[in-house]
Amino acid sequence: MLSMVTFWTKVRVFLAPLGGLLMILTSPAYAQVSVAPTSRFVAVERLPVVFQVGCTTSCELEALQPGLNWDEAIVSWNVRPAAGARLKVEARVVYPDTTTKWYVMADWSLDGPRTSVDGQRDDYGDVLTDTLSVRRAGGALQLRLTGTCKDPGPQLTLLGVEFSTKPPSVQAAEPLKPGEAVSAVPQAAPPSTPATAAGARAPEPNRAAWGKVLEAPKKVQHDYPHGNVLCSPTSLSMVLGYWSGQLARPDLSHDVPEVEASVWDVAYKGAGNWPFNMASAGSHPGIRAYVARLASVRELEDWVVAGGPVVASVSLQLLKGKTLDRKTEQGHLVVLVGFSKEGDPVFNDPNEHDRLSTYKRADFEAAWAYSQRTVYLVYPESFVPPKCPEGHWLPGAQ
């Protein structure tokens, strides 16, 4: 019989007070932004022990204070070795005058089955497959983890939360329906040239990325059974294949059906659960993977210059320069591998058979804003990400 162990643990996060804002520490040599931020990735530094053979272990972490007036949160986790491990992730919001119920963010196992949980909507918010969306902005987020394992060895190697604030166009859009993934909900059409944060202008492009294309393997989702729902595992397969070549690691090369099997969400009935895709990628030794929301195409240019492809969540209709049809748009994922000499983004698009797909920069900006500029960041722990004083992703050497 399994025993049950419950404990509280305090954790440290990458945050530092400066100028009235709480920011993720990146490097003391870089100044903080002076405008109100709209997104931030907060990683737990001291990870709890949640996997012990022969018992179910549950821990409630100290609430995270992101220093952001957030209303959406996406949790990412990496577990290694993941075989035989199961992790339940819950979250609640702590306000000065009240605390919400525990929302189930995931019941996950790399071996499967794994599932999101529908029907959690209440007066405070809802879990939209993979995203906690709350009606009252701000507050602190507390996580509760419950783990089991069949064999000794599994450990959390990454735990973090992407906090973000919905722009007014999204807040005013059609209410989200229970069980829908944020990536599958048609939103109001965004402006073609987004600002990086409230009151800020879009930054100057990093022209060092213009004319640079990373060599990632090309795969087409429609080459596989029920390929119309496989844009996410196909994109992930391509990014893992890129790092397989860069690192001479054949263990990172997985065909789409294998990736699909490791990310399929039973409740969602699809392979597009963002954290499940990142948990699958992050189960590989030495690989870090998490969901983030960025601020501008300039940040994507920085990643290309650094040598890292990025999976971006977009509206396929807007990406192709079409008018957004809220009834038919289902969201799409593409692998950004570079930029043309004119500065237009270049992709390995799993929906296209062409080796590379180049789309207009303005069309991509509008399409990407559809998901609030959501990305998959997947890279080896030895990789040095670009500098980001705004804290949109983890700094290097963490």
Q: What proportion of the chain, given as a percentage, has pLDDT over 70?
A: 82
Residue 201 is assigned to a structural domain of this protein: no
Name the DSSP class of 326. T
**Looking at the structure, do residues 215 and 360 belong to the same domain, yes or no?**
yes
Contact present, 368 and 350 (Cβ < 8 Å): no
* 160 and 211 inside one domain: no
Give a yes or no: residue 200 inside a domain.
no
Q: In the chain, how many domains are there?
A: 2
Q: What is the pLDDT of residues 188-225, one digit of tens each?
A: 334 334 444 444 577 899 999 999 999 999 999 999 99
pLDDT for residue 14 is more than 70: no
Given this model, what pLDDT does residue 18 score? 29
* pLDDT greater than 50 at residue 66: yes
Measured CA to CA, the distance from residue 264 to residue 330 in angstroms comes to: 17
Q: Which residues contact 297 (CB under 8 A, 6 or more apart)?
A: 202, 205, 345, 361, 364, 365, 368
Domain check: are 59 and 123 in the same one? yes
In this structure, the answer to whether residues 211 and 165 fall within a common structural domain is: no
Q: Comparing C-alpha atoms, which of 235, 274, 289, 264 is closest to residue 111? A: 264
- Residue 44 has a CB neighbour count (10 Å cut-off) of 21
For residue 320, give the DSSP letter. T
pTM across the whole model: 0.86
313 touches 183 (CB < 8 A):
yes
- Give me the pLDDT at residue 45, please: 86
Q: Are residues 211 and 111 in the same domain?
A: no
Q: Looking at the domain assignment, is residue 198 inside a domain?
A: no
Distance CA 73, CA 92 (A): 11
- The Cα 329–Cα 371 span in angstroms is 12
Does one domain contain both 217 and 166? no
Residue 355 confidence (pLDDT) above 60: yes
pLDDT for the residue 248 = 98
- Of 30-39, 58-67, 275-284, 343-352, least confident by mean pLDDT is 30-39
Report the candidate in 256, 239, 269 with the shortest Cα–Cα distance to residue 336. Answer: 239
pLDDT in tens, 221-259: 999 999 999 999 999 999 999 999 999 999 999 999 999
Measured CA distances, 84 to 79, 153, 159 (Å): 11, 10, 19
Count of H helices and E strands in the chain?
Answer: 7, 18
In degrees rounded to 5, what are phi and psi of residue 363? -65, -40
Host H or E run for residue 148: strand 140-149
Whether 190 is covered by a domain: the verdict is: no
If asked whether residues 28 and 165 sit together in one domain, one would say yes
Contact 354, 335 (CB under 8 A): no
CATH number of the domain to which 91 belongs: 2.60.120
**Chain segment 358-395, per-residue pLDDT in tens:** 999 999 999 999 999 999 999 999 999 999 989 999 99
pLDDT of residue 27 exceeding 80, the answer is: no
Over range 134-149, report the average pLDDT.
Answer: 97
- 331 within domain boundaries: yes
Looking at residue 16, its amino acid is A
Q: What pLDDT does residue 36 have?
A: 54
Biggest CA pair distance of the chain: 64
Cβ-contact 33, 39 below 8 angstroms = no
| Domain CATH code at residue 224 | 3.90.70.10
Q: 121, 146, 170 — which closes off a domain?
A: 170
Residue 237 in domain:
yes
Question: 296: domain range?
Answer: 207-380
The verdict on residue 342 lying in a domain is: yes
Same domain, 365 and 226: yes
Amino acid 171: pLDDT = 53
> Is the per-residue pLDDT at 5 higher than 50?
no
186 part of a folded domain: no
Residue 10 tokens read as: 């305090």
Q: pLDDT tens digits, residue range 155-187?
A: 999 999 999 999 875 554 443 333 334 343 334
Confidence at residue 153, expressed as pLDDT on a 0 to 100 scale = 94
C-alpha distance from residue 131 to each of 27, 83, 94, 105, 337 (Å): 29, 25, 17, 7, 26
Residues 159 and 225 in one domain: no
